């Protein structure tokens, strides 16, 4: 039996487990949840998935989503 784990890795190195896999260039909030578009305001803290890494050991398949902070000036395009 294989267990699947999904994690987001913030720019400062902290990691948090999430419920589902994300794709490249998806926008997420501070808790790693997808942001629905259009955004209500550009004045939120948002991260973008820039890299996806996989690791497997003894029945646990882990997926790590590396994030980068999206500047507020760029979030205006998503409103």
18 contacts 7 by C-beta, under 8 angstroms: yes
| This prediction's pTM | 0.90
What range does the domain containing 8 cover? 3-78
Tokens for 48, please give them: 């973008």
What number is the average pLDDT over the span 65-75? Answer: 94
What number is the average pLDDT over the span 25-42? Answer: 92
Q: Which residue has the higher pLDDT, 1 or 64?
A: 64
23 contacts 59 by C-beta, under 8 angstroms: no
- pLDDT at position 79 is 87
3-9 and 47-57: which strand pairing?
unpaired
Distance CA 61, CA 56 (A): 4
Average pLDDT, the chain: 94
Number of domains in the chain: 1
Distance CA 16, CA 1 (A): 23
pLDDT at 78 over 90: no
> Which one, of 52, 42, 17, 50, lies nearest residue 32 by Cα?
17
């Amino acid at each position: 039996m294989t267990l699947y784990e999904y994690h987001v890795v913030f720019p400062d190195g902290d990691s948090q487990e999430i419920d589902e896999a994300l794709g490249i260039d998806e926008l997420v909030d501070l808790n790693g949840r997808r942001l629905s578009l259009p955004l209500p305001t550009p004045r939120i803290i948002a991260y973008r998935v820039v890299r996806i890494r996989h690791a497997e050991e003894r029945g646990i398949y882990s997926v790590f989503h590396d994030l980068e902070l999206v500047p507020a000036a760029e979030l205006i395009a998503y409103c």
